[in-house]
Structure 1
Amino acid sequence: MVAHKGERRQHFQHAADGDGRTCASSGETALHKFAKKSLAVALRLKLPALRESNGRNSLDVVHEGDFVFDSAVLEKRHGEIVPDVVCRRAGRILHVEFLVTHACGPEKLAALRMLDVGSIEIDLSGYRDRPLDTLADAILSEAPRTAARPGRREADRSLH
């Protein structure tokens, strides 16, 4: 925190990093919380296409499109990890991670693959300065998203 003693107003402000952003290392951001809640309420998400290949054959695991889920649970432990949101559709599971200040590390990505479920990371780092009331479409369909390669059993079945 930095004290500001202005003529009109005195206040405290979070100290800025070298790039001018504040709170980069603080706990969960308002955007991160808002993203999780938006997905849980909407129960829909645009997913990118995911195609698996072994060199000779390839399989469309997921076709790009809007998916509607039966349920979504926030921060539910699954094995060694706690995904931001666990979505379910007809008995299938999708783990959703929201990148606001830092991406999933290699250990978490490896743990997701070991769980043999689909996962996606949605990059909201470029949306930090937008008002929350304008973000629902970005969260659910516009923001860059990357599907993580699922485990072997998941690649044998598509979401469709």
Structure 2
Amino acid sequence: MESRGPPRAPECSPRGDGVLLPYGEAPDGRLVRASEVSAGLDCGCTCPACGAPLVARRGGVRIAHFAHAADHACASTHETMLHRLAKQLIAERAALTLPEVTVEYGGKHHRVRPAMTIHPEGAALEPGLDGLRPDILVTIAKRPLLVEIAVTHFCGPEKVALIQARRLAAVEINLSQIARDTPPDTLEHIILHTAPRRWLWNRLADAAMVAMRVEAARRTHSRDEALERVGCTLAEAAAAPTVEPGDPRLAWAVEATRDAGLSGAVGIAVAGDGCFAVAREIWQSRLVGRHVLGGIPLDERTVAASLYPVMRGGFAGPRPGGIAWRVITGRFPALRPPPDVVLDYVRLLGLMGLLVRDPGGLWRPGRAAVVARDRGQAAAARRVGHSKALGSPRGATRG
């Protein structure tokens, strides 16, 4: 779209800019090729930009072209010629390619209709439309279509907003990258068919955008309902009373932890630990028994998996009810993924000196763990010795 201000004097270079004009303005105002008129000054053509006389040259080396009769060339000749030529071609109802109709919403790209070639039924140059003046107004299937030609000036946001507010089908053709030495046949093909073009407003795109927004709102509503159901189910489960574990190894872990003098390291409240079906002392003793007293290196990325058997239903999955944990926690802060709960507890053991993180990222027993392990082994040995003494009548008699 060319600017609509008052006409300015053409800017000319006294030595010329080397541009060969493929089109000149004939006496009747149309742009014509140099091959279509008489050679030399007899062509009767003028510059489309400054109005100076042109000469038509049809030598054997270069393609037919126009040049200024005087030794100067207008700086805006090429841009003005492109703009006027595009309007002339389309106004004369030449076949015109329209861009594909696409919409993008929520990161999704949808093609509504592929690019298509039309044959205008009618055309008007720069008609006044109540404060809006498009470059060309063409009629297709009895519907109006605004066509804007952009060479150096593109449609600004105010004009685009006005077009969209009035729901006027409009397309903008970008001719800013056309080379100055493009042959006429190629030039016309580029203008009509291959130059970049975009919709400023299209009823199909507008309808598709509305449909995508409605569908997105429906999905959001359904997702919110599903999230509410999953969150409430997990919250109810987390609030249920703990159960007594049936695995004897868990009872052994609690006993071993007590023997080691680590009663103060278990039974600690950790945010979100309602994911466990057993008391805090039990699941934490299980972890302490394996990795603090047992010496098994702890990988914080997988440690929660060893505690899955004592988690409440629904908490062990990475996506409860098909919903990511970060979404659940965002709505229900008290519901945290078990790996995060376990990691918080592991870090507490680190602060106590029971676990130390090595350069590879694994947690290993610290100095405090070694002391606790020795203490636990001594307590266990004393208990075994005491049990043997109580279980031997002869030993008791000799005693």
**TM-score normalised to structure 2 length:** 0.31
Structure with a larger share of its residues in strand: 1
* Candidates 111, 121, 140, aligned match of 2:192: 140
Larger Rg: 2
The offset of 1:76, in angstroms, is 0.8
The structure-2 alpha-carbon separation of the partners of 1:103 and 1:66, relative to structure 1 and needing over 3 Å to count, comes to same
Aligned residues: 141
**Cα distance in 2, alignment partners of residues 76 and 33 from structure 1:** 15
8 Å Cα contact 1:117/1:154 also seen in 2 = no
Unaligned runs of 5+ in 2: 1-11, 16-69, 209-399
- Aligned residue identity for 1:3: P
Aligned to 1:3: 14
Aligned pairs for 1:1-150 within 5 A: 1-4=12-15, 11-14=71-74, 22-23=75-76, 29-52=80-103, 60=112, 62-127=113-178, 129=180, 130-150=182-202
Q: Percent identity?
A: 31
8 Å Cα contact 1:43/1:72 also seen in 2 = no
* Cα root mean square deviation, aligned: 3.1
The offset of 1:109, in angstroms, is 0.8
8 Å Cα contact 1:44/1:68 also seen in 2 = yes
**TM-score normalised to structure 1 length:** 0.72
**Secondary structure of 1:112's partner?**
helix
The offset of 1:70, in angstroms, is 0.9
8 Å Cα contact 2:168/2:201 also seen in 1 = no
Range with greater deviation from structure 2 (131-140 or 35-44): 131-140
Shift >4 Å, 4+ stretches: 52-56
**Secondary structure of 1:125's partner?**
coil
8 Å Cα contact 1:100/1:128 also seen in 2 = no
Structure with a larger share of its residues in helix: 2
**Cα distance in 2, alignment partners of residues 110 and 128 from structure 1:** 31
8 Å Cα contact 1:122/1:144 also seen in 2 = yes
* Post-superposition CA distance 1:104-123 (Å, at most 9, x none): 11111111112211111111
**Secondary structure of 1:101's partner?**
coil
The offset of 1:41, in angstroms, is 1.6
- Aligned residue identity for 2:186: T
**Cα distance in 2, alignment partners of residues 42 and 149 from structure 1:** 21
**Cα distance in 2, alignment partners of residues 124 and 75 from structure 1:** 18
The offset of 1:93, in angstroms, is 1.1
- Aligned residue identity for 1:78: L
The structure-2 alpha-carbon separation of the partners of 1:12 and 1:139, relative to structure 1 and needing over 3 Å to count, comes to closer
8 Å Cα contact 2:93/2:122 also seen in 1 = no
**Cα distance in 2, alignment partners of residues 31 and 102 from structure 1:** 12
Unaligned runs of 5+ in 1: 5-9, 15-21
The offset of 1:143, in angstroms, is 0.4
8 Å Cα contact 1:34/1:132 also seen in 2 = no
